Structure 1
Amino acid sequence: MDRKWWTLIAVSVATFMLLLDITVVNVALPSIRKDLNASFTDLQWVLDAYALTLAALVLTAGSLADRLGRRRIFSWGLVIFSLASLLCALSPNPTFLNIARAVQGVGGAAMFAVSLALVAQEFPAGRERGVAMGWYGATIGVAVALGPLVGGALTDGLGWESIFYLNVPIGVVTLIVTFTRLRESRDPHATRVDWAGVAAFSASLFLLVLALVRGNDEGWTSTLILSLLSASAALMAVFVWIELRVPEPMLPMRLFRRHAFTGVQLAAFGVSSSLFALFLYLTLYMQNYLGLTPFGTGLRYLPVTAVSFLASPIAGLLLSRVPARVMLGAGLAAIGLGLYLMGGVAPGDEWTTLLPGFVIAGAGVGLINPVIADVAVSVVPKQQSGMAAGINDTFRQVGISVGIAVWGAIFVARGAREVRELAAGTPAAGGGHPHELVEAASSGNLDMVLAAFPPRSRQAVATAARDGFLAGFNEVLYYGSLVCFAAAVLAVWLVREHQIER
């Protein structure tokens, strides 16, 4: 078999493992909460700790790959990710798990940063690369499709730890293929790493997410939250200043003069900050509100993921025939419509209320994944493909990490407001009880919190908490749909075919 197909296989398997880990963890979160006695904030950090380090380091990993060798960095990523997965499985408490997840993100950054570059160097631009990107997109679809099922089956049968053990043998096999079949490549003109940019960007992103996660508890006008937001903005300004002045920036600002480059980054951010970030809240709804098992939740995700899997190869074939902006705009609009249809859930509804939205959003994801992957590396010179892939993955992961934090803040604030209105005149409406009740309903810990209220009022308080959950849940779905519609408009406006190598 030709080397290019071995490259596609290795990259696809690694991507499968990375994405499987995200979707698997989503389904396992309620079980992790129960076993490790985790809070709602802990559950947010299980996802954000991974996404934050991945987003913060993927650009650096791309730069290192261009300098030290893409195969080498990819291999180190596999090693770090596999070892961190083992640590996740052995976690005795939420803090240990979140630290291990952060280390996982380091390995994930190295793998993500060069995946598309490895494919792009083996498949020439045009129809052949379009087919390869179609299969790459299908891999994403399979990971998303199988993730909830595999995660549900493993969590129900062997415990949540097994979802992390699964990565170890997959990582070892992929590492063997990487060393024996893949070709080394690098940018001969690359010389140095932008460490100052790395430090400023990472610190800014961390402070932003920390402020968003802690905002409801500390108060949005508190000194702590305002200081965190101000420091984050200042560090981001420093980062831009650095990138405009260093000889070899990790994020060359000149690339954003190319409208197609900017458009595809906004498309990646749009889908990641909306649908992918909202998978956390969809899972909490199905497991902690409807009472489904992890495997039952995985089964309910099949429509969105199966449609995505079927649409990706078709999108890959259309890449050389249909303008990229048309596919991006249509796909993002479909995801926005799907999220809108998922909203409006009422207390007596079943999971089937989400079904039309699942199908339409799944088709949108399948349509845009291959397009984003192809355009991301086709709007820059081939020598910079590692950097371009890293930038695109950064926008994806920043979207997920910031999205989870933003939706969490809106979700709890809206839910608490609903609880305060419904429970007016009772102890549940005072102090921090509304926030506490919404978080308890979200994390499956409501019975424990209700024990602190008088027995006669518990049923009314429980109803208010569950209604507050739905109020917050519906609101973040509607806002998520607006993000996608906005990204669709920007993609159609900015992406131009003549700027894409075909």
Structure 2
Amino acid sequence: MRKWGPLVAVCLGTFMLLIDVTIVIVALPDIADALNASLSDLQWMIDIYALALAALLLGAGSAADVIGRRRMYVAGTALFAAASLACGLAPGAGWLVAMRAVQGVGATAMFATTISLLGAAYQGRDRSVALGVWGAVSGAAAALGPVLGGLLTQALDWRWIFFVNLPVSVVAIAMTLRVVGESKGHGGARIDWPGTASFTGFAGLTTFAVIRADEAGWASARTAATFAGAAAALAVFVLVERRSAHPMLDLALFRDRSFTAVMVGAFALAGTAFGVLAYTSLWLQTLLGLSPVRGGLVLIPLALAAFVASALGGRLLHGAPYRLVIGGGLVLIGAGALAQAVLDADSGWASLTVGLVVAGLGVGLVNPAIAGAALASVPARRAGMAGGAVNTFRQLGYALAVAVFGTLLTGRMEHSLRDSGVPDPHATARVLAGGGARELLARVPEARRAATDHALHAAFASGLNAAALTAGAAGLVAGAVVLVLVRSKPQATAPEPEVPEPVAAVERG
């Protein structure tokens, strides 16, 4: 147990923090009812957590090199647990969004240290085994989130999707202090505060602009000003990173076409595979009337397919070029999303199954390979930065996908409702997308209820189709980029990531 104790401790925290990216999906209708949350509130409950991971991850990695990785991991886990308790006790939507942001900060401190902790704890073949297990756990977590969320929401209450983190956090902290050694980066490491601040501004303003554009209007002055602010923050980030002696992201890495293509793949991965699922879950529960558990089980084919593909792919595709594994996986994700764009007013949950399975197979291929592809495309001394960049782009892609698909969903719903003669289609579309189908039907006279119910079903199906088509197209394009630009370098020859040496006296808890 002592040999693999560090792996268990790190994977326990990793599974917990990544499952919280998607665990709220199935609970959204219950949260909306309990806290009177709007569509934008629900989007922020998902996005603020992923945004914190995306915006702070690289900076947190630099901070961990300075103050100690184990110390950072334990502090992050403690903050994550405290924020989870606050989320579970949330009296309103605004409080829950704010605490999800704090939860994301804690998760960032954990996630930024996982690979480096494993790299310091294991060498040679053991390191390969540890990183492989960590990759499998990471891939399974996001896919299993909706299933576990449904079970907890129905068996107990939606608040338990947050309360359950408390005992897991205690175990993770206790194990980490006992079996994981402390390690730090090289003496010249510095925290890139300007880079972290400017990147956070860029990611946050971009997502805010997309979420609010549907309400304020894409051509409005407020939307234009927000996008302008995001562009300015990005320009500052580029300037800061180019001039910094210790950048959190060396922009010179993007001169390598393989690294750039891998980042495109990472950006597309979570967004195309999971970005539509929040709205799919709302459709399953508020339009089809499924319980949270049944709504979660509808999505389990994706999780099972991802697990099988990950397990078999690691054996059967060992040594295959990264471009084929990742590019082919993204193409499968895109095809799976397109296969889900087949809904109409009379469709049931079974219409999604084939598409979910195909997308899951793609996720299972891409997840274990993409970090290795990033490491293989950079010098060994930049391995930690490359690993952090993969996770940053993955979370940023997910956050923006949820925002973009929500805008597409409501826009298409509004068009469909206008054609069916529903009064105030814009407001109706936003209420419907926020899980308010029952509320809308309750306002309609009995004589018109059946026709209105059919119109709502048709509108939501149309919106989901639009979002799934966009996700599918993005997956296919990203797959093509990877297939064309990533060099044909077999996995077996990829360089082992260099991990900064632990401090001279490795402390054991």
- TM-score normalised by structure 2 residue count: 0.91
Which residue pairs with 1:312 in the alignment?
A: 310
Name the residue aligned to 1:439: 430
2: distance between equivalents of 1:2 and 1:325? 37
Counterpart CA distance in 1 for 2:319 and 2:307 is 20
Decide which moves more: 456-465 or 22-31: 456-465
Separation in 2 of the partners of 1:120 and 1:377? 13
For 2:146, the equivalent position in structure 1 comes to: 148
1:82 aligned residue: 81
User: Which residue identity lines up with residue 501 of structure 1 in the other structure?
Assistant: P
Distance 1:382 1:185 in 2: 18
SS of 2:290 mapped into structure 1? coil
AA aligned opposite 1:245:
R
Cα pair 1:88 1:97 within 8 Å, conserved: yes
1:408-453 CA-to-partner distances (Å, cap 9, x unmatched) read 1111111111111221xx6x1xxxx212222222333134335556
Secondary structure at the residue paired with 1:348? coil
Q: Which residue of 1 aligns with 2:95?
A: 96
Contact preservation (8 Å) 1:308, 1:367:
yes
Structure 2: how far apart are the matches of 1:123 and 1:489?
A: 35
Q: Assess if the C-alpha contact under 8 Å between 2:286 and 2:438 holds in 1.
A: no
Q: Is residue 203 of structure 2 the alignment partner of residue 205 of structure 1?
A: yes
Q: Distance in 1 between matches of 2:154 and 2:313?
A: 35
Q: Of 489, 494, 501, which aligns to 2:495?
A: 501
Residue 484 of structure 1 corresponds to which residue in structure 2? 475
Moved more, 89-98 or 338-347: 338-347
2:495 maps to amino acid: E
Aligned residue for 2:369? 371
Q: Identity percentage over the alignment?
A: 40
Aligned 1:219-234 pairs, distance under 5 A: 219-234=217-232
- Letter matched to residue 215 of structure 1: A
2:41 is equivalent to residue 42 of structure 1: yes
Does residue 26 in structure 1 map to residue 20 in structure 2? Answer: no
Residues in 2 aligned to 1:238 and 1:188: alpha-carbon distance in whole angstroms: 27
The partner residue of 1:173 within 152, 165, 171 is: 171
Superposition deviation, residue 12 in structure 1: 1.4
Question: Which residues of structure 1 form unaligned runs of 5+?
Answer: none
Q: d(CA) in 1 for partners of 2:69 and 2:378?
A: 17
Alpha-carbon distance in 1 for matches of 2:118, 2:379: 14
Q: Which one-letter code corresponds to 2:400 in the other structure?
A: V
Give the C-alpha shift of residue 111 in structure 1: 1.4
Name the structure 2 match of 1:118. 117
- Equivalent AA in structure 2 for residue 167 of structure 1: N
Secondary structure of 2:27's aligned partner: helix
Q: Supply the distance in 2 between the matched residues of 1:60 and 1:218 (Cα, whole angstroms).
A: 33
Task: Report the CA distance between 1:166 and its aligned residue.
Answer: 0.6
Q: Distance in 1 between matches of 2:143 and 2:397?
A: 21
Give the Cα separation in 2 of the matches to 1:193 and 1:364: 36
* Aligned partner of residue 275 in structure 2, secondary structure: helix
Deviation of 1:2 (Å): 5.2
Larger helix fraction of residues: 1
Q: 2:55, 2:337 → 1: CA distance? A: 28
Q: Give the whole-Å Cα distance in 1 for the aligned partners of 2:175 and 2:249.
A: 31
Which of 393, 396, 399 is matched with 1:395 structurally?
393
Q: What residue in structure 1 maps to residue 507 of structure 2? A: none
Which one is further off, 481-490 or 149-158?
A: 149-158
Cα distance in 1 for residues equivalent to 2:190 and 2:437: 53
Is this contact kept in 2: 1:187–1:383, CA < 8 A? no
Matched to 1:325, the amino acid is R
Verify: 1:243 aligned to 2:273, yes or no.
Answer: no
Instruction: Tell me the CA shift for residue 238 of structure 1.
Output: 1.5
State the alpha-carbon separation in 2 of the partners of residues 215 and 339 from structure 1. Answer: 24
Structure 2 partner of 1:355: 353
Corresponding position of 1:295 = 293
Indicate the residue corresponding to 1:6 in structure 2.
5
The offset of 1:90, in angstroms, is 0.5
DSSP 3-state at the match of 1:409: helix
User: For 2:145 and 2:23, how far apart are their aligned partners in 1?
Assistant: 5
Q: Tell me the CA shift for residue 128 of structure 1.
A: 5.3
How far apart are 1:151 and its partner, in Å?
1.6
What is aligned with 2:451?
460
* Matched residue, 1:254: 252
- Number of paired residues? 493
Query: CA offsets per residue over residues 369-416 of structure 1, 9 Å max, x none?
Result: 110132334444555444333222110111111111111111111111
Counterpart code for 1:38: A
**Distance across 2 between alignment mates of 1:230 and 1:359:** 40
Map 1:262-341 → 2, pairs under 5 A: 262-317=260-315, 320-341=318-339
Misfit runs of 4+, over 6 Å: none
Give the Cα separation in 2 of the matches to 1:240 and 1:205. 13
What's the secondary structure of 1:275's corresponding residue?
Answer: helix
> Residue 67 of structure 1 aligns to which amino acid in structure 2?
V
Do the aligned residues in 2 keep the contact of 1:134 with 1:314 (CA within 8 Å)? no
Q: Is the 8 A contact 1:21 1:147 kept in 2?
A: yes
Measured in 2, the distance between the counterparts of 1:200 and 1:149 equals 36
- 8 Å CA contact 2:276–2:464 kept in 1: the answer is no
1:470 to 461, 467, 477: 461
Q: Deviations over 1:295-320 (max 9, x none)?
A: 11121122110121122233333564
Q: Which moved more, 1:340-349 or 1:444-453?
A: 444-453
Could you say if the C-alpha distance between residues 301 and 143 of structure 1 is closer, same or farther in structure 2, counting changes exceeding 3 Å?
A: same
Q: Which residue of 1 aligns with 2:53?
A: 54
On the 8 A contact 1:288/1:443 being kept in 2, the answer is no
Summarize the Cα distance change of 1:137–1:194 in structure 2 as closer, same or farther, 3 Å threshold.
Answer: closer
Deviation, 1:359, is 1.1
Cα deviation for residue 63 of structure 1 reads 1.0
For 2:369 and 2:377, the matched residues in 1 are separated by 12
Which amino acid in structure 1 is aligned with residue 430 of structure 2? E
Question: What is the deviation of 1:144?
Answer: 4.0
Aligned twin of 1:184: 182
Name the CA distance, whole Å, in 1 between partners of 2:46 and 2:436. Answer: 19
TM-score of the superposed pair, with normalisation by structure 1 = 0.93
| Secondary structure in structure 2 of the residue aligned to 1:25 | coil
Structure 2 gaps of 5+ residues are 497-509
Note closer, same or farther for the CA distance 1:114–1:171 as it changes in structure 2 (3 Å cut).
same
Distance 1:83 1:378 in 2: 37
Cα distance in 1 for residues equivalent to 2:442 and 2:358: 42
